[in-house]
A = this chain, B = another copy of it.
Amino acid sequence: MFQAIADPTRRSLLQLLVDQEIPVKDIAGHYPMSRTAVSKHLRILSEAGLVVERKVGRETRYRLDPEPLLELKRWLAYYERYWENRLQALKRLVEADESVHPRGE
């Protein structure tokens, strides 16, 4: 999953597929690379579960499945409190300084 979203093209694909189901040909139209290359990116996203494919006639349509991003959210939540600590420490510094140099002085 982390690997899947590491590539900028793939992140762009996720955004494109956010609430539409699009066939490979049309997806590829948005990118400067070959259709095959796009197809390979889609496969990687699919293996990460970030995208769902559905065959309709001779085309394969893809759409976003954001569910695996929950893992990322959990991972991130772990660090969130640390940067909150940092921000709070900063805030305390600012406030301490204000008691010495009150606003409007």
Q: Is the interface of A mostly helix, strand, loop or mixed?
A: helix
B residues near A19, Cβ cutoff 8 Å: 82
Q: A72 CA to B80 CA in the complex, in Å?
A: 11
B residues near A79, Cβ cutoff 8 Å: 14, 18, 64, 66, 69
Query: Are B69 and A76 in contact, CB atoms less than 8 angstroms apart?
Result: yes
B residues near A86, Cβ cutoff 8 Å: 66-67
Using CB atoms, name the residue of chain B closest to A8: B2
The answer to whether the Cβ of A56 comes within 8 Å of any Cβ in the partner chain is no
Using CB atoms, name the residue of chain B closest to A79: B66
- Kindly provide the distance from the CB of A104 to the nearest chain B CB, expressed in whole angstroms: 30
The answer to whether the Cβ of A11 comes within 8 Å of any Cβ in the partner chain is yes
The answer to whether the Cβ of A70 comes within 8 Å of any Cβ in the partner chain is yes
Q: A54 CA to B70 CA in the complex, in Å?
A: 34
The answer to whether the Cβ of A22 comes within 8 Å of any Cβ in the partner chain is no
- Kindly provide the distance from the CB of A93 to the nearest chain B CB, expressed in whole angstroms: 15
Proximity string of chain A (1-33) to chain B, C-beta cutoff 8 Å, 1 when within and 0 when not: 011011010010011001100000000000000
